[in-house]
A and B are shown apart, each in its own frame.
Chain A
Amino acid sequence: MANYIGSSLKRKEDRRFITGKGTYTDDIVLPNMTYAYIVRSPHAHARIKAIHTDKALAHPGVVAVFTGKDLQDDGVNPLPTGWQITDSMIEPPHPVVAVDRVRYVGDPVAVVVAESRAAAKDAAELVEVDYEVLPAVVDATKAIEDGAPLVHDEAPNNLSFTWELGDKAATDEALSKAAHITRLEIINQRLIPNAMEPRSAIGDYHPARDELTLYTSSQNPHLIRLLMCAFVLGIPEHKVRVISPDVGGGFGSKIFHYPEEVIVSWSSRKLGRPVKWTAERSESFLTDAHGRDHYTVAEMGMDEDGTILALRVNTIANLGAYLSTFAGGIPTWLYGTLLAGQYKYPHIYVQTKGVFTHTTPVDAYRGAGRPEATFVLERLMDTAARELGMDPAEFRRKNFIPADAFPYETPVVLTYDSGNYEGSLEKAMQLIDYKKWREEQAKARNQGRLIGIGISCYIEACGIAPSKVAGAIGVRAGLYEGASIRVHPTGQVTVYTGAHSHGQGHETTFAQIVADGLGISPDNVEVVHGDTAQIPFGMGTYGSRSLAVGGSAIWRAVEKIREKAKKIAAHKLEASEDDIVFEDGKWVVKGTDRALTLGEIALTAYVPHDYPEGLEPGLEENSFYDPSNFTFPFGTHISVVEIDPETGKVQILRYVAVDDVGNVINPMIVEGQVHGGLAQGIGQALWEGAVYDENGQLLTGSMMDYAIPKADDLPHFEVDRTVTPCPHNPLGVKGAGETGTIASTACIANAVVDAVSHLGIKDIPMPLTPERVWRAIHGK
């Protein structure tokens, strides 16, 4: 049997991507199409006194101008949120288009639909909105103070929820007895996702058939259909088709149900013509859900020997102006449950306050809660080791969950299924030559040079999730995945997956699985995703779940095909079913050379002239897979940086990533995912950060002021792995999409602080720009 699993096959999808032949939503041009431009609030907080649309309506080429009131009067409901964090969580309505108040710069206030994009944009400038500007609050720590401007009247102190996990009394007691407490105040700054393809949506309603097709740049087409049909528009789900064609990156920001999807769908129903909207880059900055934005106080207590006793974490999470689709879950369940990391913590207590502000809504961004948790933990680890006079690697090793302790239950409700933390630390230290760099560091210090070594040991809970657990923690959805495999009469195969590829290479990885599973070449496997009319159902791609959950669903369907094929083979080969085995890609009569290939079996299934009694013709199987647990990738990253004391500029000299993502289907794709994740994580550590002024104006609203990393900012990445297969899914895989982001931010921050710690510097807030590092070094 050809072993495609485990080989670095070139990506099938790249032929169209690198030749510019991809089809993204904005590439789709439909007959009679119109274009929407959205008038957005320039104020962070204001009352809408009046909207005058007459001048815009009179503009040549304008088809219609809609305001929030038009949608409201037509029965359009607010956008729902999909994750209830506490029973008392306050969920203020999120109107698709603002009606009487705007709550962040970028909040939609009117929609102009015209014959061309240019006419829509010109006319949008003629929409006059009378605002009464109201005071705004952008900082979550200020928003919960008494007397702060209220984002929603129904949320006193701007608090949506206070969530907690762990045993508070036991944690407090353990900390009170600790010989040493390490305390850090951490700002995990707000990030802007910046997918390469801006969001785009087309609503295409056919009045005669009463059918709506929504094309949308989404990671999650089935969920968008469900939310929009059942909650927002109240239209029948079976009359709506959602297609997410090629999507150019998401990083979480395209999971959510956005106002524009409703706007184009509703407008198209009103006008009986297709309506397209595509974000300008400036709109992407303002309206794609942002990430992170935590203020945290973390305290970790140790005994005299440096054994960890307890961890207490209090976090204030900025949710932005409205609850985005999964907003509540990110700074709570996807964060608090990860706070044990790789360590034996007898006690952990975490509390998160979710707070509204007059800013863009915040939701999942690559890693989603887990990078924030890792940052808290790994900064604490390094700081504590320094305070205790221990080597940071030694301090971690002392407190690791040992390799023989799995399954391991943490004080924050997760049960880790597997792990070998010492193994990955050891491997990373060898690869980078840790001992040598400590010597180099000492030498450099004597010469006045600043070299720092940063370690980050992380755990991730991904492959989300068992639906039972999802339900128990307030997710208003199941988290299984669907797949269907259609074997055509010629033996070629189409795979329909509910996962959605927007850069992950599913068309290749999934084809490799099916190829090995059915004894064919990946060239004979086509993977279809992103179309609710073709795929039974799907939960989309996020949380590194595509392979662990979607891939497992595909594998289950493969097994069903194999079972049926076995029956056909037994009949054709005149053998007992028990004697048929799948070997070397064929169905073989055990111990003989009599065998059939998939092609031969498929032909029989569709031309069943000679066919087993009672067996249905055809060869097609559906499967839904609901995992029994999360998967738990882990690893160690180590970096070495040198800081120029004159300028504060950080140069990364080495970066070693040792990840354990379980079995690997396509090493090249995994490596690519790790590289991308590293770039984004290092981006947060060194350059990225959304900045609002005190009135709620986004100051970093373009790539001139929001610095995303470029290739020449980044070092050569040395990527390696250990392999501890996931014990509970059929492929033994865990997910690799987020590990890089989760580990690298803390890794670099630790290295930078390590480089300057001998100057008495305990912490520098991110992003660690030359200015901030220079100020820290020079005490200015």
Chain B
Amino acid sequence: MPLLDVKGLKTYFYTNRGVVKAVDGASFTVNENEIFCLVGETGCGKSVTALSIMRLIFPPGKILSGKALYKEEDLLKIPESEMQKIRGREISMVFQNPMNSLNPVFTIGYQISEAPTVHFNLSKKEAWKRTTDLIRDVKITDADTRAKCYPHVLSGGMRQRTMMAMMLSCNPNLLIADEPTTSLDVTIQAQILDLLIEIKKKRRMSVILITHNFGLVAEFGDRVAVMYCGKVVEIGDVTTIFRNPLHPYTRGLLRCLPIGYKRKSKLGFIPGTLPSPIDTPSGCSFHPRCEHSTKSCKLREPELVEYEKNHFVACHLYER
């Protein structure tokens, strides 16, 4: 029984220029106590998928259809008041940009204490205790004074730690980390990820790690889903996918990785560009860039099928 089961999720944005099919039928599952990676190019719908699970899609965006089963409840169907109790408490989310994701006019202590105060009705004193403990948990020294700081006096890395403290404040079962290290410099990136992994182990929670960095996937991930044009095209254990990538897109992506011991070979690339999300290609949306493209690829959309145990792929090459 997976912790989260997303089925056929469709989230569209109705813009003046047309309908942007940001997520167009994505399906995947997240198991308990695992790091599940969502990879793909910029604009493939990773973030929107995460925001849809949290039901944080605002107009002109709309979640059209699909299911997101969490503890046998469909997150997309339950009333907003129920969803409020899940956000921050059961499922929480760390965003890309810690600079703008913290409210500039409140101290970080106040912002960290907010969620537990609301979710657990804590007294001021209890909330403060919890807050300083959390600040210590994310390895910020001098918790009592730091708690009284405003976000702008903190460094980027500290802000992201604050963000994590905030999102861990109610002990969620699932943490969605949307490219948590993109805006940080490399040494800080490593620290933040190590911290994330450490906390994940300590608290035995699941993490959805959204990234476009296969290096991170290989290092930290348990399972991985590759997204293209709002769909999941391949999903499986990280070791399986790296050993035996099936989808031409996944193979293309992996060919693009610089690998240390093969210096002589040229770095691979995927021909063409990501299609416009307003006007996605018919059939398999990857077919214009695919070297194995056939007639049926243009006509019919491939289904996600189980190629081997726990290894799913959506490609006509593997349909039986």
The answer to whether A and B come from one shared complex is no
